[in-house]
C-alpha cells in the first residue's frame, strides 16, 4: 500500500502523574523502549513521512524521542479534539488519510492502521478503531447501523440498552484529511469539563453529510497505560503478541 499521502497525529502531551513518575506518560518504557517510540517506528515503517506529535510545553523529552519528526505544543489541555487541532498549522495542506493515535497505545499494528487507511480511501470521512472486550465496563460504546457508525455514547450517558453493546471506543481514529480540520472546527465545548471532545467528530461529520464507520481491533492491541499496573499489563501483552 502506498502511504505517501498519509499523515499521522500522535497525542503525547499527557503527564505521568498517575504513573507516579516525572517522565511524560508516553516516555514510560515497555520492554525497554518508550511507549511512543513503538508508534513512531510502526508509522514510519509503513512509509508515513508526515508524523506530528502533540506535546506539552514541558515536552522536550518527547520532542527529542520523536525527532526528526515534527512536534507541536498544546499549551492548555482542553480535550482530545483541541489536542488534534493543535496540528492544524503543520498539516493544513494534507488531503489524504490522517491517523490519530494516542501515544500510550504502543501495540497497534501496521495491519490495523492499513485497514483504517483503506476504509478512508473507500469514502469514509471518519474511521474509529473499536474493540470488543470481555468486560465493556465503562468504555464508550460505538453505535452502529450496518456499516455506518452513527455515534459514540459515553458510558455515563448510555441507556441500559446501549450498555449491553460490547463494541467499544479505543479513542484512536482515522480521518479524511480534506475534512479533518473543518470537522474539528465545529466541535464545541458545551459540557461539564468545557473541553473539546474528539468523539464529537462522528456527530459533526454526519451533520456535514459525511460517512463514518468503525473497525474491530484486538483488545490487547489497543491497550493503553495510565497506571503502573496497566504498564505491567502492556509488558505482558507485548511478550505474548505472537499468540494474539
**Measured CA distances, 33 to 37, 43, 77, 192, 196 (Å):** 7, 16, 26, 37, 31
Residue among 18, 138, 228, 241 flagged as catalytic:
18
Q: Looking up cell 516525572, which residue turns up?
A: 22
Q: Domain map of the chain by residue range?
A: 7-243
- Determine the topology of domain 7-243 in CATH: Spore Coat Polysaccharide Biosynthesis Protein SpsA; Chain A (3.90.550)
pLDDT of residue 173: 98
pLDDT of residue 16: 63
pTM: 0.95
Beta strand extents in 63-220 (DSSP E only): 70-73, 97-102, 126-131, 141-145, 148-153, 168-176, 212-217
**Tens of pLDDT along the chain (244 residues)?**
789 999 999 999 987 666 667 889 999 999 999 999 999 999 999 999 999 999 999 999 999 999 999 999 999 999 999 999 999 999 989 999 999 999 999 999 999 999 999 999 999 999 999 999 988 888 999 999 999 999 999 898 899 999 999 999 999 999 999 999 999 999 999 988 899 999 999 999 999 999 999 999 999 999 998 889 999 999 999 998 877 7
| End-to-end CA, the chain | 24
pLDDT of residue 131: 96
Query: What are the DSSP calls for 24-58, one per residue?
Result: -GGGSEETTEEHHHHHHHHHHHTT--EEEEEE-TT
pLDDT of residue 214: 98
Cβ contact 156:192 at 8 Å: no
pLDDT of residue 78: 95
The CB density around residue 68, as the number of other CB atoms within 10 Å, is 5
Helix ranges restricted to H, the chain: 35-45, 60-66, 80-85, 88-91, 110-121, 160-163, 180-185, 201-207, 228-239
Active site residue 206: no
Amino acid at each position: 500500500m502506498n502511504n505517501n499521502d498519509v499523515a499521522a497525529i500522535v497525542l503525547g502531551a499527557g503527564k505521568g502523574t498517575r504513573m507516579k513518575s516525572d517522565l511524560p506518560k508516553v516516555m514510560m518504557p515497555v520492554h525497554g523502549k518508550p511507549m511512543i517510540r513503538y508508534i513512531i517506528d510502526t508509522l514510519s515503517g509503513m512509509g508515513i513521512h508526515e508524523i506530528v506529535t502533540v506535546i506539552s510545553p514541558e515536552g522536550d523529552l518527547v520532542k527529542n524521542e520523536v525527532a526528526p519528526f515534527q512536534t507541536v505544543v498544546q499549551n492548555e489541555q482542553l480535550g482530545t479534539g483541541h489536542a488534534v487541532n493543535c496540528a492544524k498549522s503543520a498539516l493544513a495542506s494534507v488531503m489524504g488519510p490522517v491517523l490519530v493515535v494516542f501515544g500510550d497505545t504502543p501495540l497497534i499494528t501496521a495491519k490495523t492502521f492499513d485497514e483504517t487507511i483503506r476504509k478512508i480511501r473507500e469514502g469514509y470521512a471518519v474511521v474509529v478503531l473499536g474493540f470488543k472486550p470481555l468486560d465493556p465496563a465503562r468504555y464508550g460504546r460505538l453505535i452502529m447501523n450496518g456499516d455506518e457508525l452513527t455515534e459514540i455514547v459515553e458510558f455515563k450517558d448510555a441507556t441500559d440498552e446501549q450498555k449491553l453493546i460490547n463494541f467499544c471506543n479505543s479513542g484512536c481514529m482515522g480521518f479524511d484529511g480534506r475534512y479533518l480540520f473543518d470537522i474539528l472546527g465545529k466541535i464545541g465545548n458545551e459540557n461539564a469539563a468545557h473541553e473539546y471532545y474528539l468523539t464529537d467528530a462522528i456527530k459533526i461529520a454526519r451533520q456535514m453529510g459525511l460517512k463514518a464507520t468503525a473497525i474491530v481491533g484486538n483488545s490487547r492491541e489497543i491497550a493503553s497505560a495510565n497506571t503502573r499496573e496497566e504498564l505491567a499489563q502492556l509488558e505482558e501483552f507485548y511478550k505474548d503478541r505472537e499468540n494474539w
